[in-house]
A = this chain, B = another copy of it.
Amino acid sequence: MRSAGRSKQRITISDVAKSLGLTKGTVSRALNGYPDIAEVTRNRVQKMATTLGYSPLSHAQAIRTGYAKSIGLVLQVDEHDAHGPFLAGFLAGVTKAATSEGWTLTVATAESDEDMLRTLARLVDERKVDGFILPRTFVEDPRVEFLRSEGVPFVLYGRTSDTDGCAWYDILGEKAMEAAVQRFHDHGHTRVAFVNGGPQYFYSSLRLQGYLSGMAVSGLQIDNAIVRSGADTVEQGAAAAELLLALPRPPTAFLYAVDMAALGFYRTAQSLGLSVGSDVSVISYDGVPEGAFADPPLTTFSVNRHRAGQRLAHLLIERIHGAAPERLRETEQAQLLERQSDGPLALTSEELAERVHDSAHRRSSGKEKEQ
């Protein structure tokens, strides 16, 4: 059960105390900023601690203080791996901020909603983490309810409706949607479709708002026939595109709330012989790396995930230290990546309909694409 063990003897708080002729209690208080320690003593202790290379064992602290100095992140893996591309930079941001304050990041994964709650419970039960970062908030989020009822600190990556006790960091997706509509409008488009993500995500409601507001600002007519939702994956995005393009008066501009779904739009457009970026325009949101390698590269709003991670870690630590959640709410703008999937209006809605119709005929026999 042992072996493979480390050898080097750690230097403990007692070592520091001994070499200073103090007791470990005094050293502890000196290091932790208690007021009943003479300033000169505190300095001696701190100096000795650094020259000896002492650093407290967080486990030992945790057992008494109850705080592990660890932030928790539980990823839902089955979730149409939308997480994937988000992850690397995000983790870097979180750990960077965490380490700078002497904290660590504990990550776990869950395969279902129940698994998620079980995992959260286990981590907090075993005191492995002091709080959580919750990515991708839902309209009805069981994680929030659970943690709130348990009194466990958490910070949302995203916003939510029931803001009670919630701290968050979020990107203003609604502003991005609004700007996208105006960009389409500036390019002469008037029939702008909106393909939203799943209604279970809170961000979907925000992005819809943004779309509607953008349409209003641009003075464009809202047609519910070209507003869809529930597209988070490539397949779902492709299906939505098929439906929209098959309309009698198809939209010429497509605003997607989610990059992966927008990549599905490419698939449909291609199979209909439509050239993305000229025949039809699409703008999306997320900034996934796949978008840069699509043909043509996807115009999208990118979020700085590194920064998001960093801020979230910071906010969570503040929250754990007792800051009021109301004070811990930050939002930021997404950044437009102007690429080639959108452009000036080239085909009218009617011409587009014709093209689609023609292509549908040819499709009955020949299959295949080329490039």
Task: List the interface of chain A (C-beta within 8 A of B).
Answer: 1-8, 10, 55, 57-60, 62-63, 66, 68, 70, 75, 77, 81, 83-85, 87-89, 91-92, 95-96, 99, 104-109, 119, 122-128, 131, 150-153, 234, 263, 266, 270, 275-277, 289-290, 292-297, 319-322, 339, 370-371
Most buried by B among A59, A91, A276: A59
A275–B55 CB distance below 8 A: no
Query: In the complex, what residues of B have CB within 8 A of residue A4's CB?
Result: 131, 151, 153, 319-322
CB proximity of A142 to chain B, nearest CB, Å? 18
State how many angstroms separate the Cβ of A204 from the closest Cβ of chain B. Answer: 22
> Out of B55, B83, B322, B371, which one reaches A296, CB within 8 Å?
B371
CB of A150 within 8 A of CB of B8, answer yes
User: In whole Å, how far is A165's beta carbon from the nearest beta carbon of chain B?
Assistant: 10
Contact B127 A339 (CB under 8 A): no
- Chain B positions within 8 Å of A7 at CB level: 151
Q: Report the separation of the CA atoms of residues A275 and B371 in the bound assembly, to the nearest whole angstrom.
A: 7
Pick from B1, B6, B58: contact of A152, CB below 8 A: B6
The minimal Cβ–Cβ distance linking A318 to chain B, given in whole angstroms, is 10
Known: A63-B60, A290-B289, A371-B275. A108 touches B95 (CB 8 A): yes
Pick the contact of A75 from B63, B88, B296, B370 — CB < 8 Å?
B88
Q: CA A84 – CA B122 in complex, angstroms? A: 28
Residues on B with beta carbons closer than 8 Å to the beta carbon of A297: 370-371
Q: Distance in Å from the Cβ of A281 to the closest Cβ of chain B? A: 14
CB of B63 within 8 A of CB of A91, answer no
Q: Contacts A5-B151, A296-B371 given; indicate if A55 touches B290 (C-beta within 8 A).
A: no
Q: Given A6-B152, A104-B108, 15 other A-B contacts at CB below 8 A? A: A4-B131, A10-B125, A58-B127, A75-B92, A77-B88, A84-B85, A95-B109, A234-B293, A263-B293, A266-B293, A275-B371, A293-B293, A293-B294, A294-B295, A295-B371
Closest A-B pairs by Cβ, 5 of them: A3-B322, A59-B59, A84-B88, A77-B92, A295-B295
